[in-house]
């Protein structure tokens, strides 16, 4: 089997668009609300989930034939939790600053439905290499949506992009202008509405999705 | 290879046991192997926070130790109930969960002037917050502050770690005119200042009222616990 056969390429590209974890599979919504008030945590979270999904997919795929059917979910959970804990320990030891910034999100990764969803739906039936691609694809598909939502929320909620100011101070009502930051955008509820808008646009464009 | 029955009871139990033991050993190994490095990082981070309260920011990780030793002259530990110093203990080693029994107190020297640093802990909206307030040698004027948090909302409450907020405390007074008993230094919402003197308050973070209130309470509570020590320094 070729490394980049059609099936393998699809395992990677489908979740980016036609099978996007958030827009189509509607997985991982919870963390999408929590971390998207600004762009930077959204990107970091997207990358962390990509790494963890890819490697837990590989591990589960390697041992998939030995896992007793009745306790497969528990085994999956153990693998994910162990992986996340190890990564978090390594971050704390070698890149302390990053780990301080990530403190809340690292725990959130374990509860991310994308992980369990992909382990159960893909890694349990497929070999390690396609599973790796599927994990990376799903992680990136998730990251794309997070980045879009984070971009809109940070821009409208704070008037900044990556912390750099884009809405000039002179526009603000405090300084006699006509503009006001939309405080609603900083609330998780707006993330839900933005995700819904994203799904709407996505489906309007890809008419063949059920 | 004979085909194993992966659905049998015995197989399931043995499998679960083996996996759990492997994972337990792996995690224990990783945690204990990395512990010294992590602890060193935590200590350096704490030193950087204390230095930040003296407006010494952005010290390189490798230079932190030396800078801290040069600036911080004494790290005392007072009993919580009396103004007695507990001999032979370093204030730096007192974890925040022991603040009820022990009161760590730092004496620093910046550009030849004595500064006092009061560490404090409190509660934000979602989790714990903590900070260091550095005072001039009159024990009344704020020289600098540092605040941080466990899990405040990114972009809102989490902004208490930002320099502009901490810098807004510079030069503020602990006490209002004519009253040197109650701590007057406050964090108030913009527009809610009332009749307070501008010397006694800073504005909270917009959109993070509950976190700002937490900082306000922490400062009042933390500083009033140290009043006897501070008055003795004057």
pLDDT tens for residues A83-136? 988 888 888 888 887 777 666 677 778 878 888 888 988 999 999 999 999 999
User: A93–B31: do the CB atoms touch at under 8 Å?
Assistant: no
| pLDDT at residue A30 is higher than 60 | yes
| Cα separation, B209 vs B217, whole angstroms | 12
* Model confidence band, residue B1 (pLDDT cutoffs 50, 70, 90): very low
Residue A39 covered by a domain: yes
**Cβ(B108)–Cβ(B115) under 8 Å?**
yes
A155 to chain B: which residues are within 8 Å by CB?
Answer: none
Q: For B64-82, what is the mean pLDDT?
A: 90
User: A68–B6: do the CB atoms touch at under 8 Å?
Assistant: yes
Which residues form the domain of A52? 22-203
Report percent pLDDT > 90 for chain B.
Answer: 56
A75 in contact with chain B, both atoms CB, cutoff 8 A? yes
User: A86–B155: do the CB atoms touch at under 8 Å?
Assistant: no
User: A75–B156: do the CB atoms touch at under 8 Å?
Assistant: no
| Cα separation, A35 vs A37, whole angstroms | 6
B62 in contact with chain A, both atoms CB, cutoff 8 A? no
A100 to chain B: which residues are within 8 Å by CB?
Answer: 45
| Cα separation, B128 vs B47, whole angstroms | 19
Q: For B134-156, what is the mean pLDDT?
A: 88
B11 to chain A: which residues are within 8 Å by CB?
Answer: 68
Q: For B62-83, what is the mean pLDDT?
A: 89
Chain-centroid distance of CA B16 in Å reads: 42
Answer with the residue of higher pLDDT: A190 or A4.
Answer: A190
| pLDDT at residue B3 is higher than 80 | no
- Does residue B128 come out as left (phi exceeding 0), alpha (psi in the -120 to 50 range) or beta? beta
Residue A68 covered by a domain: yes
> Between residues 144 and 203 of chain A, which touch chain B (CB distance below 8 Å)?
154, 157-158, 183, 186
Q: Helix, strand, or coil here: B131?
A: strand
Number of domains in chain A: 1
Q: Where are the alpha helices (H) located in chain B, listed in sequence order?
A: 9-53, 61-71, 163-167, 209-225, 227-233
Size of interface A-B (CB pairs under 8 A): 74
Domain extent listing, chain B = 42-233
Which of A90, A91, A96, A150 should one mutate to test binding to chain B, selecting the residue with the greatest count of B CBs within 10 A? A96
* Distance between A90 CA and the closest CA of chain B, angstroms: 7
Mean pLDDT estimate for chain A: 84
Residue of B nearest to A183 (CA): B207
Provide DSSP, A81-113: HHHHHHHHHHHHHH-HHHHHHHHHHHHHHHT-H
| pLDDT at residue B4 is higher than 70 | no
pLDDT tens for residues B86-117? 888 888 988 888 888 899 999 999 988 999 99
- In the prediction, which pLDDT does B81 show? 84
| pLDDT at residue A48 is higher than 90 | no
B12 in contact with chain A, both atoms CB, cutoff 8 A? yes
Residue A10 covered by a domain: no
Residue of A nearest to B11 (CA): A68
**Residues in a beta bridge with B117:** B106, B134
Residue A14 covered by a domain: no
User: B155–A78: do the CB atoms touch at under 8 Å?
Assistant: no
pLDDT tens for residues A135-164? 999 999 999 999 999 999 988 888 888 878
pLDDT tens for residues B155-179? 788 889 999 999 999 999 999 888 8
| pLDDT at residue B17 is higher than 70 | yes
A88 to chain B: which residues are within 8 Å by CB?
Answer: none
- In the prediction, which pLDDT does A164 show? 80
A68 in contact with chain B, both atoms CB, cutoff 8 A? yes
| pLDDT at residue A2 is higher than 70 | no
Helix, strand, coil share of chain A (percent; to 5): 70, 5, 25
Mean pLDDT estimate for chain B: 89
A72 in contact with chain B, both atoms CB, cutoff 8 A? no
Q: How far is CA B155 from CA A162, B167, B197, in A?
A: 11, 18, 29
For β-strands B128-135 and B186-188, DSSP reports them as unpaired
End-to-end CA distance of chain A: 31
The minimal CB distance from A93 to the residues B7, B20, B38 is found for B38
| Residue B93 structure tokens | 């080693």
- In the prediction, which pLDDT does B151 show? 79
Residue A105 covered by a domain: yes
B28 in contact with chain A, both atoms CB, cutoff 8 A? no
pLDDT tens for residues A123-143? 999 999 999 999 999 999 999
B155 to chain A: which residues are within 8 Å by CB?
Answer: 37-38, 154, 157-158, 186
A61 in contact with chain B, both atoms CB, cutoff 8 A? no
Residue A170 covered by a domain: yes
Phi, psi values for residue A143, rounded to 5°: -60, -40
User: B27–A186: do the CB atoms touch at under 8 Å?
Assistant: no
Q: How far is CA B111 from CA B45, B56, B70, B138, B197, in A?
A: 23, 12, 11, 16, 29
Q: Helix, strand, or coil here: B182?
A: coil
For β-strands A164-165 and B72-79, DSSP reports them as unpaired
The minimal CB distance from B23 to the residues A67, A71, A78 is found for A78
């Amino acid at each position: 089997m070729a490394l980049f056969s059609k099936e393998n390429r699809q395992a990677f590209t489908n979740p980016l668009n036609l099978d996007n974890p958030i827009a189509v599979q509607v997985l991982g919504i919870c963390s999408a609300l929590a971390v998207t008030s600004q762009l930077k945590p959204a990107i970091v979270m997207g990358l962390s989930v990509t790494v963890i999904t890819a490697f837990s997919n590989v591990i589960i795929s390697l041992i998939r034939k030995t896992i007793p059917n009745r306790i497969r979910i528990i085994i999956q959970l153990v693998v994910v939790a162990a992986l996340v804990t190890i990564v978090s320990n390594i971050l704390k030891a070698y890149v302390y600053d990053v780990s301080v910034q990530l403190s809340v999100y690292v725990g959130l990764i374990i509860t991310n439905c994308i992980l369990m969803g992909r382990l159960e739906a893909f890694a349990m039936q497929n070999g390690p290499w396609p599973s790796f691609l599927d994990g990376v694809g799903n992680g990136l598909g998730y990251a794309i949506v997070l980045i879009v939502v984070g971009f809109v929320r940070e821009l409208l909620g704070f008037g900044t992009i990556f912390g750099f100011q884009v809405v000039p101070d002179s526009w603000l009502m405090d300084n006699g202008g006509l503009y006001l930051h939309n405080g609603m955008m900083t609330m998780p509820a707006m993330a839900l509405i933005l995700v819904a808008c994203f799904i709407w646009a996505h489906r309007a464009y890809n008419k063949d999705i059920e | 290879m004979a085909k194993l029955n992966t659905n049998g009871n015995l197989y399931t139990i043995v499998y679960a046991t083996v996996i759990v033991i492997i994972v337990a050993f792996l995690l224990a190994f990783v945690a204990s192997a990395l512990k010294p490095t992590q602890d060193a990082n935590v200590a350096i981070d704490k030193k950087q926070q204390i230095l930040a309260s003296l407006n010494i920011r952005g010290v390189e990780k490798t230079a932190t130790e030396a800078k801290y030793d040069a600036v911080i002259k004494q790290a005392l530990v007072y009993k919580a109930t009396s103004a007695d110093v507990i001999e032979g203990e370093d204030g730096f080693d007192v974890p925040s969960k022991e603040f009820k029994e022990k009161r760590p107190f730092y004496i620093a020297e910046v550009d030849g002037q004595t500064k006092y640093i009061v560490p404090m802990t409190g509660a934000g909206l979602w989790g714990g917050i903590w900070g260091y307030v550095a005072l001039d040698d009159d024990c009344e004027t704020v020289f600098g502050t540092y605040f941080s948090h466990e899990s405040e909302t990114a972009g809102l409450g989490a902004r208490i770690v930002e320099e502009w907020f901490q810098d807004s405390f510079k030069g503020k007074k602990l006490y209002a005119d004519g009253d040197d008993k109650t701590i007057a230094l406050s964090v108030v919402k913009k527009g809610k200042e009332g009749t307070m003197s501008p010397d006694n308050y800073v504005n909270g973070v917009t959109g993070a009222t509950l976190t700002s209130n937490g900082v306000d309470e922490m400062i009042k509570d933390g500083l009033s616990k140290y009043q006897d020590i501070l008055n003795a320094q004057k």
